[in-house]
Amino acid sequence: MSDFATRWIATFVGAVIGLTLGLLYTWIIAPVELVNTYPALLRTDYRQSWVRLAALSYVVDYDLERTRSRLDGLKQDDVSGAIQALIEESAAAGWPADTLRSLTTLAEALDVQTPAMLVYLYTSTPLPSAPINTPSSMPTRPATRTSMPRASPSLTVDTPEPTRTPRDASPLITPTPEPTSTPPSPTPTPPLLARLGLVRQEQLCEPGQMLQVQILVTDERGAGIPGVEVWLMWSGGADRAVTGLKPGKGAGYVDFEAEPSASYVLGVGELGTPLVTDLQVEPCPYEGDEEPLMGSWRVVLGPRPLATRESDDNG
Amino acid sequence: MSERAGLLPRWGTRVIVGVVVGLALGFAIGWWLWPVQYTNTEPGVLRQDYRDDYIIMVATAYEAEGSLELARERLSLLDPEEPSVPVVELAERLVEAGGAAEDIERLTRLAWALGALTPTLVPDMEGRP
């Protein structure tokens, strides 16, 4: 081997040894000190805990800027996930509505969206009402984040502008030379809640199931409506819940635990207007020698057809 | 053979040069180019300002949730032995530095609930003038 090659090999071997020693020292013996880290580097559960703490602090101090700065640098997914979970847990735990409203206000400000929010963002109205014949104003199912309505008309008190039917402008109506000061008033649209009725009722028979009364409130198109107050009343008691708090089961879904011996009345709205009466847990259809299974109920509520309106339209 | 070659073979010099170059590269890589990346860290190693914020948030969340157990659990990530110590230290530091009164009061209430109220913080229990 030539002298030249030997020298270069020696240099290379030395460099490898030096590099190895250097990395050993900097990566293992004296690595960069684990101090002065920041929230984004926290372990996932601690990051979520951080977001949760920031949101809870907002509930107390209402300082949005401070909350934003606390969440600054964290991924939106972390923020969304933790706040969604907090809202849903809090709703399920029966936290005061004001607290939940604060949380949902924060969520909205941070562009975090969860169906459970709708209930608390827009419950300033006594009853959710949905205008009929205006499909675009029906509540949109919050299947995607981008489609979440910021101010769903179905959940506001804004009365939609009455639309004139073609009959109003019909040339068959004799025009009068002087316009009347009071144009013919359109038929007032009853709120959706006032039109809710029983669509169907089915017994659920699955071994090991918890006895429940499950309610699904739907609109004309069969889409679930969040934010509807549902009452389950029985002799000596009543329970109330709001649709949409279990987003996984649908925006219009709500359920109650049921007792085999009780007879229930199902109502909706602030006054619990009864829609289904004498609802009782009953045995499922008998099969062989097995002990009969008690069945839960699934009740679908939806708007009843407007007979008067239809007859008007036809006439 | 030259005098220099007698002290250290020529290839030995080269090895030493190589080691020095390699070490320099190693330090540059290990501390600057690709330092150890820490993820999955715990609140205990947060920078001081984040750590302070964490403690304040725990105290504020305690006000919202009312769960001393949760507060203690969260604080034990900073000091497993004495979870109340970070609260008291921060509260006293804020008192000295003239920090936000609301923060001091929340910290003081939590310190009191944890049984760690100090004389410095007593006035804050009743509202510092």
Contact A221, A135 (CB under 8 A): yes
Q: What's the pTM value of the predicted model, to 2 decimals?
A: 0.51
Q: What is the pLDDT of residue A51?
A: 93
A125 pLDDT exceeds 50? no
How many residues in total does chain B contain?
129
* Predicted confidence (pLDDT) at residue A151 exceeds the cutoff of 60: no
pLDDT cut 70: percent of chain B above it: 89
Closest Cα in chain A, distance from residue B78 (Å): 12
Burial class (CB in 10 A: 0-12, 13-18, 19+), A57: buried
Q: Which of A53, A59, A61 is best to mutate for the B interface (most B CBs within 10 A)? A: A53
| Lowest-pLDDT choice from A179-183, A287-291, A311-315, B28-32 | A311-315
Q: What is the pLDDT of residue B97?
A: 93
The string of DSSP codes covering A81-122 is: HHHHHHHHHHHHTT--HHHHHHHHHHHHHTT---HHHHHHHS
CA-based nearest distance A239→chain B, Å: 24
Under the banding of pLDDT at 50, 70 and 90, the label for residue A289 is low
Q: How many CB atoms lie within 10 A of CB A243?
A: 29
Q: How many Å apart are CA A228 and CA A126, to the nearest integer?
A: 10
CB-CB under 8 Å, A23 with B64: no
Whole-angstrom distance, CA of residue A99 vs CA of residue A104: 9
Q: Which residue in this structure is represented by tokens 């959710």?
A: A128
Whether residue A34 lies within 8 A of chain B, CB to CB, comes out as yes
Res. A287 pLDDT band, cuts 50 70 90: low
Which residue of chain B is at minimal alpha-carbon distance from A6?
A: B11
B87 touches B75 (CB < 8 A) = yes
Mean pLDDT of chain A: 72
Amino acid at residue number A310: E
- What band does B125 get if pLDDT is binned at 50, 70 and 90? low
Q: Which residues pair with A274 in a beta bridge?
A: A267
Q: How confident is the model at residue A64 (pLDDT cuts 50, 70, 90)?
A: very high
Q: Distance from first CA to last CA of chain A, Å, rounded? A: 111
Nearest to A265 by CA among A237, A305, A228: A237
Cα angle B88-B94-B98, degrees, rounded to a multiple of 5: 150
Q: How far is B120 from chain A (nearest CA, A)?
A: 24
Judge whether residue A267 has pLDDT over 60.
Answer: yes
Asked if the interface predicted TM-score (ipTM) of this complex is over 0.85, the answer is no
Higher pLDDT, A214 or A232: A214
User: A155-172: string of b/e by CB count within 10 Å (b at 16+)?
Assistant: beeeeeeeeeeeeeeeee
Rounded-to-integer distance, Cα A2 and Cα A51, Å? 66
B19–A8 CB contact, under 8 Å: no
Cα distances (Å, whole numbers) of residue A7 to A149, A293, B5, B16, B19: 74, 89, 13, 11, 13
B109 confidence band (pLDDT: 50, 70, 90): very high
Q: Give the pLDDT mean for B28-56.
A: 87
The pLDDT value recorded for residue A293 is: 82
Distance of CA A284 to the CA centre of its chain: 32
Inform me whether the pLDDT recorded for A117 exceeds 70. Answer: no
Residue A98, both tokens? 């004001």
Alpha-carbon span A40 to A49, nearest angstrom = 12
Q: Is A68 on the interface with B (CB under 8 A)?
A: no
Least confident range of A141-155, B15-29, B72-86: A141-155
Q: Which of the listed ranges A49-53, A117-121, A201-205, A309-313 does the model predict with the highest average pLDDT?
A: A49-53
What pLDDT was estimated at residue A236? Answer: 65
How many alpha carbons lie under 13 Å from residue B127 in its C-beta half-sphere?
Answer: 1
Whether B14 sits inside 8 A of A39 (CB atoms) is no
Phi–psi pair at A7, nearest 5 degrees: -65, -40
Q: What is the pLDDT of residue A10?
A: 83
Average pLDDT over residues A288-309: 77
pLDDT band for A247, please (50, 70, 90 cuts). confident
Which residues in A lie closer than 8 A to residue B46 (C-beta atoms)?
A: 36-39, 42
B50: chain A residues, CB-CB within 8 Å: 37-39
Look at the block and give the residue holding tokens 């009345």.
A265
Model confidence pLDDT, tens digit, residues A88-98: 787 777 777 77
pLDDT in tens, A10-41: 888 888 998 899 888 888 887 766 677 889 98
C-alpha distances out from residue A182 to A175, A297, B7, Å: 14, 50, 117
Residue B51 has pLDDT above 60, yes or no: yes
Worst-scoring range by mean pLDDT, A133-137, A227-231, B90-94, B115-119?
A: A133-137
Q: Which residues pair with A256 in a beta bridge?
A: A213
Whether A10 and chain B come into contact, CB under 8 Å, resolves to yes
Alpha carbon separation from A100 to A49, A128, A163, A238 (Å, rounded): 18, 18, 37, 23
* Identity of the residue in A8, A26, A46 whose CB atom sits nearest the CB atom of B42: A46
Query: What is the predicted pLDDT for the residue at A214?
Result: 92
Using DSSP, how many helices (H) and how many strands (E) does chain B show?
7, 0
Say if A8 is an interface residue toward chain B (CB within 8 Å). yes
